[in-house]
Amino acid sequence: MKEIMLAALVMGPFSGVDLETITETPILGTEPIMEVVGEDLLEYGEGMQLVSYDGDPAVRAESDEFFLEVRRELPAGQYGIVVEASAPNNGADSLWVVVDGEQQDAPFRLAIDAMSERTASVSFDQAGEHTIRLILREAPGVTVRRLALRRNTVNVPRDPMLPELADEHPRFLFTAEDIPAMRERLDHPVVQRFYDPPGVLTADPPEFRPGQRNGGAFRRMPHYALSYVLEPTQEKLDGLLRWLEMAATYPHTGADLDAEYFMEGVALTYDWIYEDIPEDLRQDLRELFVRQASHIYELSLNGRTGGGLSFQQNHYWFAHLALILAAGAVYGEVPEAREWLAWGWDRAERIFLTFSPDGGFHEGPAYWDFSMPTLYMLVGLYEGLTGLHVPWADRGLEGQAIFRFHHYYPGFEGTATLEDTTVPKGGTATHLLLWEAKRFQDPVVQGLAEMLDTAPGTSAYEFLYLDEDLEAVDPLEVLPLAQYYPDIETAFARTSWEDDANYVAMVSRPLGGHLWAELAARFGLSGTGHNHPEQGHFILFGRGEVLAHDPGYTYEKRTRNHNTILVDGQGQYGDGEMWPGPKPGRARMTGFVTEDGITIIEADPSSAYPEDLGLTQFTRTLVLAGDVVVVHDQLAADQPRTFSWLLHHIGEIEQTANAWEITRGDAQLTVLPLEPQEFSAEASRYLPVYVHPTRDHTPDEDAEIGLLQLDAGPTEQTSFLVPMVISDAGAAVPQVERIGDDQFHGVRIGDTIVAFNPGGGQIEVPLPDGATFTTDARTVVATIADGAQRVVELEREAWTPGALEQ
């Protein structure tokens, strides 16, 4: 693929990794210590018997007394205990690792019905005889073919921090030299427009709660710490020191989201007010950072932090930012921090190199809001501490703010609930817009921040990411009404920037986007858990209401929950999974054109469906023209199948003679199916699966959603032609007339004509003014507005966007 080959020329300047070597680790060295295979395993434990697995000797756990044990003289260091094993089911797929008599916190999870290698991290602070024992966590039955022990070392290729920063605090995001100018900035009117320093941190810090998340409360500390730096008072300092004293009593907060929340608060505060922290508390905090960094580091060396090896999964970003913050805080004071920070930069460069290149993000707007602060801080720390420029990622970072803005519904209050986005969803944080505006000196994004921000905020990042000298322009005078993102295959369109505009968003992509899907297939990576099996899905908004709905964050991700097609009642790859991983499908957009407020989007989601469903064609074209929306689907299969056309809503639905009227507030969507000639229809309501074993995302309102389902077949091929009209509730709908002949399908709604040309030859389309338009375009839209006729075509020539082929 062209883009992967291009990106492979970009190398991480710290680690030396590129996209062709993204799963290799040049800076990691491993020293084999021992390996035992097959029958010899019997000598290393009890409770097992010799068996054959795929013709190779192995041992199987036969009783609850099963264990495997390694006892050796070992030097201090980081180790990996490696097991090649297969579990029979999810009731026997995990082991405990017991090191020198102490059981580790996290279980050792094994593959089910597949002989696969798994590694657990182990560390020893002192040389001597050490024992590593594997015992059952659940039922017996696991089969083990190989047991090995290796020592891990990181070969640091260059200083992971600029020498001039190694003995200096602060060094995260600013230095002591910057502080006088930062204090002067407080008087600037643009700074005051966006930022109001918070006062004293008066709340009491929480005590550590074993087995629970603990870091979240500390994440707000930097806002108070920066306020102290800018306007120091003893009261502000006392509040911060109380929280740091409590933080120092924590063991650590894991190796996932909670670790980042905790380190973002504690490490930034430690760095920013370092000179005012008593030395005994500094020492306690250094010990905390050692506990936290060493824990994440040990797990990360063996791919067991949050996110595993999923470089484009938000948990991976959080885990390694926590490592970088902890290591960077004590760099120059703790010798091991050099290795920890080097490993953090190695991980960060993989994030940068695999980031989508089109300015979009695959996990939806809620996870954009959640994840981008982490990525932006990673960029700032990487460049500020190393003096290097992030490799490749800027291509995809530029434009992110506009991508997020396209999710806003008209009126700019609500947000389209694509992917795992809770309902309802509001706007994004101002500092994320300011970061991009400053980094790329983008006056349009600066204008977005000014337009969407209603009052000064207390976030430290609103101050640090603001460039008050950047002149803003009105974004609504510059931004397009419609935009397409070719890597993550998402398109947005609206009829105007006015509050009463109509709006559509549509998705048809490989899970994770093209670049990540290709990397995942090539290297066996995962990490698309917040994507949904929804290709071909669309959302509609008009007259101030959501008219075609997406239920957002569900834990059983169903194609049936989206406005797309089912085949014999079945959905797409990943249907029903909680966290779908990369799949073989390569759904895509195949056409996009927007002119004069008219948008045509064409997609081919067919490869998103498992091969055993026999789907050979699914071409969806969606047209937005004023108050008219038309969806045209061409469907074919290898044998007679039932095709189900789905439309979800959160309004009230009523059937009239040949239509369904969906009413929500003061808005109405009238659905008028014209094809196929024979179909059955059902309007129902149901509750998607919002509940997780530990969380409940059921919306307070509109949890139960309405579904209009049109079924055609069984048949080998069919088409759906479904015009929809957006209007005020109770308003009369313009006359709807099916047009066409053997060459094209079409519809006339008032003064709007939409024609589809599946055959590819010349067609003659009647225009609203009575003339005839001859074309071979795939789709034609003609309308009269303000006394003028406009014709927009999706032309015939092959159009194969996709970020990897442009």
- Phi and psi (nearest 5°) for 232? -70, 135
Burial of 269 (0-12, 13-18, 19+ CB in 10 A): buried
Give the other-Cβ count within 10 Å of 29's Cβ: 12
Per-residue pLDDT band at 1 (split at 50, 70, 90): very low
Is the pLDDT at 177 greater than 90, yes or no?
Answer: yes
Q: Given this model, what pLDDT does residue 802 score? A: 46
For residue 268 the two structure tokens come to 């930034």
DSSP state of 10: -
pLDDT tens string 574-625: 999 999 988 999 999 999 999 988 999 999 999 999 999 999 999 999 999 9
Q: Given this model, what pLDDT does residue 78 score? A: 85
Is the pLDDT at 559 greater than 60, yes or no?
Answer: yes
What is the average pLDDT across 711-729? 98
Spatial CA neighbour of 319 closest among 269, 278, 378? 378
Q: Which of 303-317, 490-504, 576-590, 592-606 has the lowest mean pLDDT?
A: 303-317
Is the pLDDT at 3 greater than 60, yes or no?
Answer: no
Q: Given this model, what pLDDT does residue 168 score? A: 97
- 414 Cβ contact partners less than 8 Å away, ≥ 6 residues apart: 408, 424, 425, 426, 546
Spatial CA neighbour of 758 closest among 566, 617, 586? 617
Per-residue pLDDT band at 76 (split at 50, 70, 90): confident
Single-letter code of the amino acid located at 468: E
Mean pLDDT of the chain: 94
Is the pLDDT at 552 greater than 80, yes or no?
Answer: yes
CA distance 754 to 747: 5
Calculate the alpha carbon distances from 756 to 622, 673, 739, 796 in Å.
11, 15, 10, 11
Q: Is the dihedral of CA 235, 241, 247, 249 positive or negative?
A: negative
Q: Given this model, what pLDDT does residue 5 score? A: 45
What is the average pLDDT across 330-334? 97
Are residues 338 and 380 in contact, defined by beta-carbon separation less than 8 angstroms? no
Single-letter code of the amino acid located at 625: A
CA distance 62 to 59: 9
pLDDT greater at residue 321 or residue 760: 321
Calculate the alpha carbon distances from 216 to 226, 256, 315, 463 in Å.
18, 12, 15, 22
Are residues 607 and 585 in contact, defined by beta-carbon separation less than 8 angstroms? yes
Is the pLDDT at 439 greater than 90, yes or no?
Answer: yes
Question: Angle 430-440/443-452 helices, nearest 10 degrees?
Answer: 160
Q: Given this model, what pLDDT does residue 800 score? A: 53
What is the average pLDDT across 722-734? 95
What is the average pLDDT across 359-381? 97
The SS3 of residue 643 is strand
Are residues 22 and 519 in contact, defined by beta-carbon separation less than 8 angstroms? yes
Give the other-Cβ count within 10 Å of 725's Cβ: 24
Q: Given this model, what pLDDT does residue 657 score? A: 86
The SS3 of residue 646 is strand
Are residues 447 and 392 in contact, defined by beta-carbon separation less than 8 angstroms? no
Calculate the alpha carbon distances from 203 to 65, 236, 240, 537 in Å.
50, 12, 10, 46
Q: Given this model, what pLDDT does residue 368 score? A: 98
Q: Is the dihedral of CA 651, 365, 555, 633 positive or negative?
A: positive
For residue 567 the two structure tokens come to 């085949």
Are residues 496 and 484 in contact, defined by beta-carbon separation less than 8 angstroms? no
- 250 Cβ contact partners less than 8 Å away, ≥ 6 residues apart: 208, 214, 262, 288
Spatial CA neighbour of 518 closest among 528, 508, 506? 528
DSSP state of 87: B
Percentage of the residues of the chain whose pLDDT score is greater than 70 = 98
For residue 50 the two structure tokens come to 């010799």
Are residues 17 and 26 in contact, defined by beta-carbon separation less than 8 angstroms? yes
Spatial CA neighbour of 619 closest among 793, 756, 437, 715? 756
154-183 burial code (b ≥16 CB/10 A, e <16): bebeebbbeeebbeebbbbbbeeeeeeeee
Is the pLDDT at 798 greater than 70, yes or no?
Answer: no
What is the average pLDDT across 84-97? 92
CA distance 804 to 522: 14
Are residues 310 and 356 in contact, defined by beta-carbon separation less than 8 angstroms? no
CA distance 631 to 563: 11
pLDDT greater at residue 524 or residue 493: 493
Per-residue pLDDT band at 29 (split at 50, 70, 90): confident
Percentage of the residues of the chain whose pLDDT score is greater than 90 = 85
Q: Is the dihedral of CA 513, 516, 522, 525 positive or negative?
A: negative
Per-residue pLDDT band at 9 (split at 50, 70, 90): low
For residue 55 the two structure tokens come to 């013709």
CA distance 666 to 672: 20
Would you give the distance in Å from CA 597 to the centre of its chain?
A: 30
Q: Given this model, what pLDDT does residue 799 score? A: 56
pLDDT tens string 641-697: 999 999 999 999 999 988 999 999 999 999 999 999 999 999 999 999 999 888 899
- Phi and psi (nearest 5°) for 120? -115, 140
- 455 Cβ contact partners less than 8 Å away, ≥ 6 residues apart: none
CA atoms in the 13 A half-sphere facing the CB of 193: 16
CA distance 447 to 463: 16
Spatial CA neighbour of 292 closest among 218, 231, 186, 369? 218
* Consecutive H or E run containing 537: strand 537-542
Is the pLDDT at 293 greater than 60, yes or no?
Answer: yes
CA distance 792 to 595: 7
The SS3 of residue 494 is strand
Is the pLDDT at 203 greater than 50, yes or no?
Answer: yes
The length of the chain is 806
Listed in sequence order, the DSSP H helices in 11-118 are none
